[in-house]
Amino acid sequence: MVIQVISAAPLTDDERAKIEKRFSVKHPGQKPVFSYSVDQSLLGGLLVIDGDDFYDASLKRQMTRLVSGEAQTERVQPTPAQQAQRQAVLDKLTEQMRIEPLRPDIGKLMRRLDERIDTFKPDYTGSHAGRVCYSGDGVIRIEGLKDAEYDELLDVEGVKAIAFNLEEDNVGAIVLDDEDKVQAGAIVHSTGRIVEVPVGEALLGRVVNPLGVPIDGLGEVHTDRVRPIEAAAPAIADRGKVNTPLQTGIMAIDAMIPIGRGQRELIIGDRQTGKSSIAIDTILNQKGKGVYCVYVAIGQKSSTVSGLVHTLGEYGALDYTVVVCSTARDSAPMQYIAPYAGCAIAEEFMYAGRDVLIVYDDLSKHAVAYRAMSLLLKRPPGREAYPGDIFYLHSRLLERAAKLSDALGGGSMTALPIVETLAGDISAYVPTNIISITDGQIYLESELFNAGIRPAVNVGLSVSRVGSSAQIKGMRKVSGKLRLDLSQYRELQVFTQFGSDLDAETKRMLDQGARATETLKQPLHASYAVEQQIILLYLINKELLGRVPTDRIGAFNKGFLEYLEVNGSELYGRICANGDVSMEDGIALEELVDAYYAYFFKK
Ligand code: ATP
Ligand code: MG
């Protein structure tokens, strides 16, 4: 047991004896060793460190408390009268120091120490304060902050931080904004809250950073509602069945990998395979459908995000969209909280009974930001150097997407997380984790993309585990055969690669597959309404496109839809109303295709 005594001036034997006597009483039966040292920076008085207890009776502390400590803790500015009074006390102290700077009135200080020891009671309530003892790379360590909770918002002299590592003798925290403003020695207060973002309809059409601060130059966001960025996911009993489709407007997805409102569907693929494009087209397609959208950009280039905002504006999609943006130059902590902040904004709409679509672009960069933070906080690295709780990082985020029960208003949050793979490796650590949490995945392939099959959806590896129950009847009828055609086509393609001698049936299947593949090609921002998709798939299923050259299928389909709108508006209206092609409508449709053939080849 060593008790350290640090004083501003060397202590006399008498003084030492007094101190030793006083502190030995605290440790009956033990023989504490006293270690004495001198630190002139205390100005006057002394400091005793007794195990975990800390008795600071130095002049320096009194002065700091007076000039900075108290002022820091106060939310309100002191009045001029208070300030004057403080200045007077300070002047007096300074004067005393000048007369006898290093000779404290030991008797008085000892009496005060006695008082403190007798009345010492640990305080487990209220706001405690600590001091920053290390700051670097957006991570700080804090000493003396005893009551911090995990995930709690900390106030570092006006800068926000989140408590992350609660250790025996210090707290590791991540700094959210202005990390360079934090200095060693800064005072930290716990707040008892967790980070909140402003929420509500006022955010629609805005671009905000992960703390909800607008970065689009359009002024303040006028809302008085806030939500914590971390929240519990809806309980099992609070959830309803996924039964309404969320139309992406992309035929390959709506027909074969349908997404229901409240579902979590992963978009996965290598770099530059059109992942973001699918998410953006889905947002564009929500126009007029009453679905609010939240797009969360994580660690992306500023130019990419600005291009995206421009596209959304151009197609009139900003009116119902919120963009939460953390760019590549933002600190790892800001990138880390971005998806949770976006989720809180979406939750507000969901609990108000609305349908929301949220896109996380992308969670690979999120995992990397989290890894950087964890390593700086000296958490032990695991597989691929990710920390042990990397699974929980994404599961607690994606579990918050849900379809709520009618009792809770029936709102929904559909999540489209995006994950980037390296060389198509979907069995890497983060991709497999997220695949196991989501309700299916849309797998995009570079090979298909480069072969001009765009969107480059690999139909074989993509699945939707809950969406088919949300598909409308007409779509369900036509999509079954399409899946079969395409899978036969894929198999035959492999078999017939080297053979030239094909029988008629094989040729027919190959032809049918090639035409189906052509039909599913879709340029950017050219979404199809679900009825249009049903009609086009009806044509391909009934093999009505046999006479069109394969490379002109796209043009034929586009032209036919326009032709139908003019020359078969009644029929089109009926198909829209029923959401299905009935027997008679089918016959009428076939006649119309015949009529269009003549027109198409004349062009
Ligand atoms: P990154 O890995 O950089 O995030 P990404 O996978 O998100 O890329 P996108 O940015 O969506 O890919 O698309 C890459 C490029 O492919 C873009 O230039 C886009 O215009 C083009 N592209 C995407 N989808 C289509 C499509 N259906 N038709 C034509 N071009 C497309
Ligand atoms: Mg992208």
Q: How do residues 155-167 score in pLDDT, each as one tens digit?
A: 998 899 999 999 9
Task: Look at the block and give the residue holding tokens 């975990």.
Answer: 52
**Ligand found nearest the CA of 271:** 1
Most confident region among 50-59, 121-130, 584-593 by mean pLDDT = 584-593
Q: How far apart are CA 35 and CA 58, in angstroms?
A: 17
**What is the distance between the alpha carbons of residues 235 and 295, in angstroms, rounded to a whole number?**
25
Residue pair 514/506 in contact (Cβ under 8 Å)? The answer is no
Closest CA to 6 of 22, 16, 143: 16
**Helix, strand, or coil (residue 17):** helix
Q: State mean pLDDT over 427-445.
A: 95
pLDDT of residue 107: 65
Of residues 321 and 508, more confidence is placed in 321
pLDDT band at 446 (very low <50, low <70, confident <90, very high): very high
More confident residue, 375 or 601: 375
pLDDT band at 69 (very low <50, low <70, confident <90, very high): very low
Q: What are the two backbone dihedrals, phi and then psi, of residue 482, each rounded to the nearest 5 degrees?
A: -60, -45
Which ligand is nearest to the Cα of residue 270, counting in written order? 1
Mean pLDDT confidence for 375-381: 93
**pLDDT at residue 83 tops 80:** no
Average pLDDT in the 383-408 region? 95
Spatial separation of the C-alpha atoms in residues 433 and 398, rounded to whole Å: 12
Q: Tell me what pLDDT residue 388 has.
A: 92
Mutate to test the pocket of ligand 1, among 251, 253, 270, 277 (most ligand atoms within 8 A of CB): 277
Residue nearest to atom 28 of ligand 1 (CA): 523
Distances in whole angstroms, Cα of residue 368 to Cα of each of 171, 386, 580: 23, 8, 46
| Residue 81 clears pLDDT 80, i.e. is over it | no
The pLDDT score that the predictor gives to residue 96 is: 61
- Tokens 């992306």 locate to 300
Query: How crowded is residue 423: how many other Cβ atoms within 10 Å of its Cβ?
Result: 7
Q: What is the mean pLDDT of residues 142-163?
A: 90
Report residues whose beta carbon is within 6 angstroms of any ligand 1 atom: 271-277, 420, 454-455, 522-524
Q: Are 562 and 526 in contact (CB under 8 A)?
A: no
- Sign of the CA dihedral with 28 first, then 32, 36, and 42 last: negative
pLDDT band at 254 (very low <50, low <70, confident <90, very high): very high
Per-residue pLDDT for 263 more than 90? yes
Q: Is 22 a catalytic residue?
A: no
Phi, psi of 265 (to 5 degrees): -120, 120
Report the nearest-CA residue for atom 8 of ligand 1: 272
Nearest 10 degrees: Cα torsion 367, 370, 375, 376 = 150
* Res 296: pLDDT: 98
CA of 374 to the centre of ligand 1 (A): 32
The answer to whether 431 touches 268, Cβ cutoff 8 Å, is yes
528 φ, ψ to 5°?
-105, 140
Q: How far is ligand 1, taken at its centre, from the CA of residue 273, in Å?
A: 5
Q: Which of 409, 389, 296 is nearest to 344 (CA)?
A: 296
Q: Is pLDDT of 125 > 80?
A: no
Q: What residue's CA is closest to ligand 1, atom 12?
A: 274
Residue 117: is its pLDDT beyond 70? Answer: no
High-pLDDT (> 70) share of the chain, % = 90
Q: What is the torsion angle, in degrees rounded to the nearest 10, for the CA atoms of residue 548, residue 550, residue 551 and residue 553?
A: 60
Residue nearest atom 23 in ligand 1 by C-alpha distance: 274
* Residues 438, 238: Cα–Cα separation, whole Å: 19
Report the SS3 class of residue 188: strand
Grade residue 468 by pLDDT with cuts at 50, 70 and 90: confident
Helix (H, G, I), strand (E, B) or coil at 264: strand
- Average of per-residue pLDDT values in the chain: 88
* Distance between Cα 207 and ligand 1 center (Å): 22
The confidence score (pLDDT) of residue 118 equals 66
State the Cα–Cα distance between residues 212 and 493, nearest whole angstrom.
Answer: 51
Distance 560 CA to ligand 2 centre (A): 33
Longest dimension (CA), the chain: 116
Atom number of ligand 1 nearest to Cα 454: 27
| Tokens at 438, concatenated | 């989501």
Query: Ligand nearest 524 Cα, by number?
Result: 1
State yes or no: pLDDT of 475 exceeds 90. yes
Position 102 scores a pLDDT of 47
3-state secondary structure of 440: strand
At 90 the pLDDT is: 67
Q: What is the pLDDT of residue 552?
A: 92
Phi, psi at 324, each rounded to 5°: -105, 120
The single residue of 16, 239, 379, 465 carrying the catalytic annotation is 465
Which residue has its alpha carbon closest to ligand 1 atom 21?
274
C-alpha angle with apex 196: 405 to 189, nearest 5 degrees?
Answer: 140
Let me know: does 211 contact 176? Beta carbons within 8 Å: yes
Atom of ligand 1 nearest to the CA of 271: 2
